[in-house]
Structure 1
Amino acid sequence: MSVKWTGGHSSPILCLNASKEGLLASGAEGGELTAWGEDGNLLGHTQFPGADDVTSVIFSSSCPTKLFASHGETISVLDVRALKACVDHFHVNEEEINCLSLNENENLLASADDSGAIKILDLESKKVSRSLKRHSNICSSVAFRPQRPLSLVSCGLDMQVMLWNLQKARPLWITNLEEDKAEEAEGPQSPGQLLNPALAHSVSVASCGNVFSCGAEDGKVRIFKVMGIKCEQELGFRGHSLGVSQVCFLPESYLLLSGGNDGMIRLWDVSSEIEKKQKSPTKHPHRKKPKRATFTKQGRNTSASVTEQEDHGRISPKLNIEHGEKVNWLLGTKIKGHQTILVADQTSCISVYPLNEV
């Protein structure tokens, strides 16, 4: 059973983040931003003018009370001790921002938006140092790689996943998840089975910096490994019966949380599969060239259907949580020294699940 943190919002919560000092922040529809203590007690609340949804929040590691928040096309910098007084703000994106990522040096902030662009903001000069434009549709998620402050990964509703190095203005590597869907379409199908497009919703990079995950609308969780200037897919499995809205690696591990539109939260240990791949690399079959397609932003009531035999393949979840609501954001963090899962969904509450040793 989960504990519910209530009273901080009146609208569905869209994003979460935690500081190293145990502070938490949540952003919601209608411009709501709230700061919380470890006990779920309210520390502060503000509402941005214009009522644009708060889509991403991220704490500074070097200054744990410093918070970045995206709302509409704007990035605001705040002090959680006085949320109503904005320290600074930037307007560098042309369309609504979906995700923020701060590199480990904390000199660069990436913001991905609805146009497909990723703006790289130099926080020292307060100017855009790079504008990465390769996604042909909404860029839904971006993440700097730990231990590599000039490298990041991104994904979007064009079904593409990309690896970037900021020394270049173009991606080092691109894969189109529609290729996987094309292969599946050639296999046996159950009557009435729907093949949802592999719109990519979320990326998360493990602490090692070389392994990352992507969750997509087709219900699959994919694991990639960075090999120099390219990546290889190490693992792909049916994680959910509906779209995978969130993936999140737990710190210092290959334990991966996934959350879906099916209301399920699952914990996976992908370490053994990664090690197997390293010892026995497999040959990649020839793949047909995918057709181009364009899709709109993820809806609230997306649906898919999968056969039971496609369930999870070789890998089984170490933990299943029947959350019951579509997952908007997942966060694995320590609260009072204990590993915990925090969940934002279509309600105005934060759900807190204790994560026992696995």
Structure 2
Amino acid sequence: MAAKWTGGHSSSILCLNVNMEGLVASGAERGELTLWDGTGSPAGQLQLPEADDVTSVVFSPRCPTKLYTSHGETISLLDVRSLKEPTERFHVNEEEINCLSVNETDSFLAAADDSGAIKVIDLEKKKVSRSLRHSNICSSVVFRPQRPQSLVSCGLDMQVTLWNLQKARPLWTTNLQECKTEEDGPQPAGQFFNPPLAHSLSVASCGNIFSCGAQDGKVRIFRVTGVRFDRELEFQGHSLGVSQVLFLPGAYWLLTGGNDGKVLLWDVSGDVGKQQKSPAKSLQRRKAQAPAAARKDGKLNKVASNDQAGVLPKLSIDHGEKVNWISCTEIKGSKRVLVADQSSSISVYPLPEP
């Protein structure tokens, strides 16, 4: 049974984030923002102006008292020591913001919105330094750890894109609909009605491995090598869309949450961790070992399927409600997964140790 954190919201919780000191922030519909201490008690509450839904909350990685929130087309910077009026506000997006990300040096903030735009704000100069774009709603954007100028994004155009802030154009883009393996065979009739709209991204602590969750229920894991990325692994994670993916800190353990009401924990370290030291040699080795039918134009066409990779969840939580957001924190020395859904409470489940 999950523990429940209640009393912080009156409407559906849409987003979560945890700072380095264990303080949890949650944003909900109608402008509700709440802070929670490690015991699950509300530690502060604020009603943001205009009562727009709070769609993303993210703490500064350098200063745990700074909290960036998106509500409607606006980004507000709050001081969690005194939840009052925002200390700064940015209004640079033209449509509702879906996701915020701050790089690890706290120098750039990226905001992805419904128009497909990603506005990158220089936090020192307090102005937009880059405007990047998807052709449809941009659902997720994440800066890569250890690479403060590099970020990945995805959207309902089924594109996953690697960017560098020194360039206005994408370094590399993959269309999930075109990214099929030979083992997939002909496209099932139902697939036409369930395209791989990309919903969520998470980058592992190493900065080179990232995961994408999509509407077709599949979880895809990519490896960045230089200015491009390749698909490392793909497996059917959920029976409905994957709304959330989250790599646990310092590990290749991946949490996923779905529209099927399940929260799953996957150990992909055997598939990606062992190749981390030399991805280029690993790719060459896999090319050499692959049969001729799997090679096309010098590229490896096949990607590990469920059976080949042996990817099975280490933990399956039947949460029962569509998952809006997942996060991870440590309570009394043990890891916990926090789950936000259509309700006004946060569910808390214990996690095994990596």
Query: Is TM-score (shorter-chain normalized) higher than 0.5?
Result: yes
Q: 1:194 to 1:127 in 2, by over 3 A?
A: closer
Establish whether residue 151 from structure 1 lines up as the match of residue 150 from structure 2: yes
Counterpart in the other structure of 2:347: 351
How many residues were matched structurally? 335
Alpha-carbon distance, 1:85 to partner = 2.3
Counterpart in the other structure of 1:107: 107
Counterpart in the other structure of 2:128: 128
| Aligned-partner Cα distance in 2 for 1:50–1:94 | 16
Counterpart in the other structure of 2:266: 268
**3-state DSSP of counterpart to 1:25:** strand
Alpha-carbon distance, 1:47 to partner = 1.3
Q: 1:242 to 1:311 in 2, by over 3 A?
A: farther
| Aligned-partner Cα distance in 1 for 2:271–2:122 | 38
Establish whether residue 15 from structure 1 lines up as the match of residue 20 from structure 2: no
Counterpart in the other structure of 1:204: 202
C-alpha deviations, 1:225-274, integer Å up to 9, x for none? 00100000000000000000000000001000000000011001111112
Alpha-carbon distance, 1:73 to partner = 0.4
| Aligned-partner Cα distance in 2 for 1:142–1:254 | 20
Establish whether residue 116 from structure 1 lines up as the match of residue 116 from structure 2: yes
Alpha-carbon distance, 1:3 to partner = 0.4
CA contact 1:207–1:253 (8 Å) conserved in 2: yes
Counterpart in the other structure of 2:173: 174
Could you tell me the TM-score, scaled by structure 2's length?
0.89
Establish whether residue 3 from structure 1 lines up as the match of residue 3 from structure 2: yes
CA contact 1:215–1:221 (8 Å) conserved in 2: yes
**3-state DSSP of counterpart to 1:327:** coil
Amino acid at match of 1:205: V
CA contact 2:224–2:230 (8 Å) conserved in 1: yes
Amino acid at match of 1:322: D
CA contact 2:256–2:265 (8 Å) conserved in 1: yes
Give the stretch that moved more between structures: 274-283 or 135-144: 274-283
CA contact 1:164–1:173 (8 Å) conserved in 2: yes
Alpha-carbon distance, 1:184 to partner = 7.5
Equivalent positions of 1:273-284 (< 5 A) are 273-275=271-273, 278=279, 279=282, 280-282=285-287
Q: 1:272 to 1:195 in 2, by over 3 A?
A: farther
Counterpart in the other structure of 1:223: 221
Q: 1:311 to 1:239 in 2, by over 3 A?
A: farther
| Aligned-partner Cα distance in 1 for 2:190–2:130 | 46
Counterpart in the other structure of 1:77: 77
Equivalent positions of 1:234-273 (< 5 A) are 234-273=232-271
Counterpart in the other structure of 2:314: 318
**3-state DSSP of counterpart to 1:178:** coil
CA contact 2:322–2:342 (8 Å) conserved in 1: yes
**3-state DSSP of counterpart to 2:286:** coil
C-alpha deviations, 1:107-139, integer Å up to 9, x for none? 100000011111110111100011112x10000
| Aligned-partner Cα distance in 2 for 1:185–1:335 | 42
Give the stretch that moved more between structures: 176-185 or 118-127: 176-185
| Aligned-partner Cα distance in 1 for 2:63–2:319 | 33
Amino acid at match of 1:49: P
| Aligned-partner Cα distance in 1 for 2:238–2:151 | 26
> Structure 1 stretches of 5 or more lacking a match?
288-308
Counterpart in the other structure of 1:141: 140
Q: 1:192 to 1:37 in 2, by over 3 A?
A: closer
| Aligned-partner Cα distance in 1 for 2:197–2:79 | 35
Give the stretch that moved more between structures: 47-56 or 208-217: 47-56
| Aligned-partner Cα distance in 2 for 1:313–1:264 | 21
Amino acid at match of 2:335: Q
Amino acid at match of 2:349: Y
